[in-house]
Amino acid sequence: MQNNLWLKQLLTLHLFALTTSIFAHDLLLEKAHSTANTFGPLANMVILPAKTGNSSNSLWTNNNKVNHDTLEDPYLLGAPIFNTPDNTGLLVELKKVKKHLLGKTILSTTNLESLGSAIAKESELFTDNIKVIKLALDAIALYESKYGGLFTTNNRTKGGFDRTASGYELENLMLVIMQSVIDYSYTEANLVAYPQLFNNRLFKTSSYFPGSVAPPADAFKSFTIKINGTHVRKPGTPANYETEDARRPTGCYLAPGSIAKVTVPSSLVGIGATILVGAHTWDLTKKPTIKRMDRVTTKYEINSTTTTIANPLGGGVYINVPYQHHLGILNITLENVVRSPYYARTVANKTSLSDWLNVERLHAAPWTDIETDKVMMQVPTSWIYAFDGIEATMNDWDMAMDAISTLLGRPLLRSKTVIYMQVDVIKRGNANFPGYPQSNVDYDPYFDYKGYHSSYLTDGPRNERGYLTNVLFHEQGHAEKIYKFKGEIESMINFLWVAVHNKKFGVELNKAFEESFNGYGISHSIEEAAISWMITENFRTGNPMSSQTGEYRQEFSYQPRGHAKYADLVRLFNWEAIEDFYANTSKMWDRGEINYSFPNRVNEIPTDDRILRMSQAAGYDLRPLIHFWGIHPIDSKNLEAEIQNNKLKKSTAIYDQLSYYKTIVPMDNTAFRNFGLEDFSETKIQKSSYYDHVSQSYYPGFLKKWWNDYDAAEGQAAVNQIQNILDLYFPDGRPEVDNTSCSEVTPLSVKSSSTTGPENTLDDNPTTAWASKGDGEYLLYDLGEVYDLCDFEINFKNGQTKLNYFDIEVSRDNQTFMVVKQGLSSTKTTTTYDTYSISRKARYVKIIGRGNETDDWNNISDVKFYFKQGNNL
């Protein structure tokens, strides 16, 4: 029955297909070592089954497969009766392999394939049968003495080979045997019972990956390292991987072939804590190209204060602390290991810059652990032994993680690092994937990096741009398990980039948004994202943005317009609007008021509830803004009542922004084409194909569909839809602040774009003025802090004789400016001041001159500003 169940699981695995593109979906998140193993051509595929208990023909103690789940051995547990394994067939098969390698009986390729299949089916017998283990190790040694280690310089597999390629039958067979040994034979029971069999026994492929290092000269020398033994739930909505073990580096490395001992405090014994040898826990079984052994780590459950460990490939040594244990700082002692480069800035360990430069980075082990309380990574030592700037890099990484945690309403210090990154010879998936570790960066073990390699891992995120860094934050967005509107599964996650680069690294908001998704060659400002949405048929006909997948119907995913609403929200209401929303969401989760975690509801949070709570956090009715960006209320009447009950105000900022969007709609075919040509060449557009659906993704096929048909009627339809939104949510027109209780505020300073004399506009003297010739010349006023502005007044020098034209923009930070009104003019009816409503929160006000009715001169004598008392921020 167990075998039948396994077979059903196998068939299900092969029937399941996950749609991917340049980024991976988070509908299903793979776990480390969660898949079965395949060797040889697909026609002869054999899966090494993941056993979890006693079989009819074998006993086993510890399975280093399937995320190294510990298996029970009744003999070791003291059971008086146990089955004797039948290993006759496996012994015969292994003897055939040995004779083939000795040249006594040459096997055909078909025979080699059959042997690999048969051995894989009996791989659990490698657990506890000394004859099987010895024959397997002998066969491996024979192969390596004759051909060298797999993937090494003198072996025909150097550089890897296709898993299904013919001509590699012997190599596939040896991988089956080697994998069976690692997965099943390297148990603590075997290491203790047969030390002579395992001591100094290494796989020569280890010189390639994970890399070679000499064993310690003194096998009895020990090192004591501190680790953080606490891994408990922290407040807030949960991220993925949060409840999995916390991996704590020891800064020590087990040389291939060595047998080591690890001594831990009694508090770690018997609670599910484990010792991991090797950091690369992802199973690469699914990779079509084999570039290293699929599974390269061993894991040992801590059942006593001293544990014996080994791995024929070697590897860094880690302590896995199980969830919901508060053990404090623990001392771990390791014997017969070597030190590996280790940079730490954690609650348990702190590495000084001097120690890094003069001690840590010079250790010879092939892999380096770098960790703070917020970030962890493993990089090849060949990348860092000449790396000086580690402190600046890790400062930037910590800042980036703080931006993400603050954005999502999570504590700055979590129980595990926010992100865990790892380099490998090949990325783990057929696309890019989230994960703990996230493993989407590869390296070449044979390349001489000369002690430093420029990568976003080593350089940090501050100045890194482009595809790979976008991937990192995109996949981290998946890992964060962010609550989203339906359709945003592959879009909202890109907004992490914006928070990191705008808040922490000072990149202007619109620029940060523009850089947040470089995939597929689309790099849009917020305005361009709005245009890409307004020109669609769905927008023009008043439909929501499409979340339907397949045939390019999806209008959110992998398109800047999918997460532009959040950038718009921030520039209109500042970061607190979205940060407070997610902070409140976390508080509601902690109080048990919401739970959208399963099954995968985080990707389709109830629409009206989310709109209401976002509005509450902003302090304004956000329905018109969110409606514009393609998310329509489900129950409009009920949501309206909730908005009224919560006394949420109508936003002048939203009104102005939507009014501005009307002015940038492409209004003819030429404007439509010019917009598309900013992103794609006409050749690419014309060569593309499309599906004849109402909604389509913003890619060349969409542009081709409308290349000849979009014109003035389509442009006007888009403008009309914006006006419909304004009429729906602002039936009384632009909401303006009651100016009966407004007070004057004197600007801190003023400057002009290109001429002298801007200070004349603040001296309240009608005989002096600022004069500048040219459309676009401006005055910029700094009010000193953010005010809730009511009105401003302008006294034009020639106010009674000419109409003067200008625009008004405002900003909170002097980086991101928003249009308040365009095409304003003087009244030509007063000798003193004309009054104009701003009704916006701002610190900076920009008056942009557009000339006058006879020429392009701008002449302003004086300007005054007024704010609402008690409302300045």
End-to-end CA distance of the chain: 69
* CATH number of domain containing 786: 2.60.120.260
On whether the CB atoms of residues 394 and 372 are closer than 8 A, the answer is yes
- State how far the alpha carbon of 587 is from the alpha carbons of 342, 434, 620, in Å: 37, 26, 21
CA distance 477 to 444: 28
CA distance 408 to 184: 42
CA distance 234 to 162: 44
Q: Is the domain of 276 the same as that of 316? A: yes
Asked if the peptide bond before residue 599 counts as cis, ω within 30 degrees of 0, the response is: yes
Q: Is the domain of 745 the same as that of 719? A: no
Q: Is the domain of 184 the same as that of 237? A: no
Q: Is the domain of 779 the same as that of 823? A: yes
476 found inside a domain: no
Q: pTM for the whole thing?
A: 0.87
14 found inside a domain: no
Mean pLDDT check: name the lowest of 72-86, 281-295, 386-400, 742-756.
72-86
Q: For residues 430 and 676, which has the higher predicted lDDT (pLDDT)? A: 676
On whether the CB atoms of residues 586 and 410 are closer than 8 A, the answer is yes
Residue 751: both structure tokens together:
């400057």
Q: For residues 14 and 808, which has the higher predicted lDDT (pLDDT)? A: 808
Residue 594: both structure tokens together:
């919401």
At residue 234, does pLDDT exceed 70? Answer: yes
Q: Is the domain of 767 the same as that of 673? A: no
Residue 599: predicted pLDDT: 60
Name the pLDDT band for 258 (thresholds 50, 70, 90). Answer: very high
Mean pLDDT check: name the lowest of 62-66, 192-196, 804-808.
62-66
CA distance 180 to 125: 9
CA distance 383 to 592: 46
β strands within 607-721, DSSP E? none
DSSP per position, 166-194: TT-HHHHHHHHHHHHIIIII--HHHHHH-
Residue 502 per-residue DSSP state: I
Residue 698 per-residue DSSP state: S
11 found inside a domain: no
Name the pLDDT band for 581 (thresholds 50, 70, 90). Answer: very high
CA distance 381 to 361: 8
Mean pLDDT of 839-855: 94
Residue 46: predicted pLDDT: 39
Q: Is the domain of 233 the same as that of 158? A: no
- The pLDDT > 70 percentage for the chain reads 89
Mean of the per-residue pLDDT values of the chain: 89
Task: Look at the block and give the residue holding tokens 């921030």.
Answer: 570
Q: Is the domain of 229 the same as that of 156? A: no
Helical segments of 359-389, H only: none
CA distance 598 to 797: 66
Residue 525: predicted pLDDT: 96
CA-based radius of gyration for the chain: 33
Q: Residue 804 forms beta bridges with which residues?
A: 852
Residue 600: predicted pLDDT: 60
At residue 66, does pLDDT exceed 90? Answer: no
674 found inside a domain: yes
Query: Each residue of 3-30: pLDDT tens digit?
Result: 443 333 333 333 333 333 333 443 333 3
Q: Which of 415, 436, 470 is the last residue of a domain?
A: 470
At residue 82, does pLDDT exceed 80? Answer: no
Q: Which of 729, 751, 774 is the last residue of a domain?
A: 729
| CA-closest candidate to residue 417, choices 586, 242, 272, 297 | 242
Q: Which of 688, 709, 729 is the last residue of a domain?
A: 729
Residue 84: predicted pLDDT: 46
Q: Is the domain of 697 the same as that of 644? A: yes
Mean pLDDT of 397-401: 98
Name the pLDDT band for 798 (thresholds 50, 70, 90). Answer: confident
At residue 1, does pLDDT exceed 70? Answer: no
CA distance 485 to 632: 11
Residue 268: both structure tokens together:
């770690």
CA distance 701 to 683: 12
On whether the CB atoms of residues 319 and 248 are closer than 8 A, the answer is yes
Which helix (H) or strand (E) segment is 654 a member of? helix 652-662
213 found inside a domain: no
| CA-closest candidate to residue 648, choices 621, 683, 614 | 621
CA distance 313 to 257: 7
Domain residues for the domain of 857 are 739-868
Residue 831: predicted pLDDT: 75
| CA-closest candidate to residue 560, choices 517, 595, 608, 603 | 517
Q: Is the domain of 180 the same as that of 256? A: no
488 found inside a domain: no
Residue 384: both structure tokens together:
């860092």
Q: Is the domain of 720 the same as that of 771? A: no
Asked if the peptide bond before residue 437 counts as cis, ω within 30 degrees of 0, the response is: yes
β strands within 144-282, DSSP E? 161-162, 222-231, 246-254, 259-263, 274-277
CA distance 529 to 531: 5
CA distance 77 to 70: 13
19 found inside a domain: no
Name the pLDDT band for 85 (thresholds 50, 70, 90). Answer: low
Beta pairing, strands 438-442 & 742-745: unpaired
CB atoms near residue 713 (< 10 Å): 11
Q: Is the domain of 663 the same as that of 698? A: yes
CB atoms near residue 389 (< 10 Å): 14
Mean pLDDT check: name the lowest of 227-236, 380-389, 542-551.
542-551
CB atoms near residue 469 (< 10 Å): 18
Query: Each residue of 707-739: pLDDT tens digit?
Result: 999 999 999 999 999 999 999 999 999 998 777
Residue 597: predicted pLDDT: 66
Amino acid at site 151: F
CA distance 606 to 596: 9
Please give the biggest Cα pair distance in the chain. Answer: 112
C-alpha dihedral sign at 112, 113, 116, 119:
negative
Q: Is the domain of 533 the same as that of 653? A: yes
At residue 137, does pLDDT exceed 70? Answer: yes
* Residues in Cβ contact with 42 at an 8 Å cutoff, skipping those fewer than 6 apart: 163, 164
Mean pLDDT check: name the lowest of 35-49, 182-196, 543-557, 588-602.
35-49
Total number of domains in the chain? 4
Mean pLDDT of 659-677: 98
Residue 511 per-residue DSSP state: H
CA distance 772 to 775: 9
Name the pLDDT band for 429 (thresholds 50, 70, 90). Answer: confident
CA distance 590 to 324: 16
Q: Residue 326 forms beta bridges with which residues?
A: 230
Give burial (CB, 10 Å; 0-12/13-18/19+) of 754.
Answer: exposed
Name the pLDDT band for 39 (thresholds 50, 70, 90). Answer: very low
Query: Each residue of 151-201: pLDDT tens digit?
Result: 999 999 999 999 999 999 999 999 999 999 999 999 999 999 999 999 999
Residue 414: both structure tokens together:
């979590």
Residue 439: predicted pLDDT: 94
CA distance 40 to 166: 8
Residue 604: predicted pLDDT: 86
475 found inside a domain: no
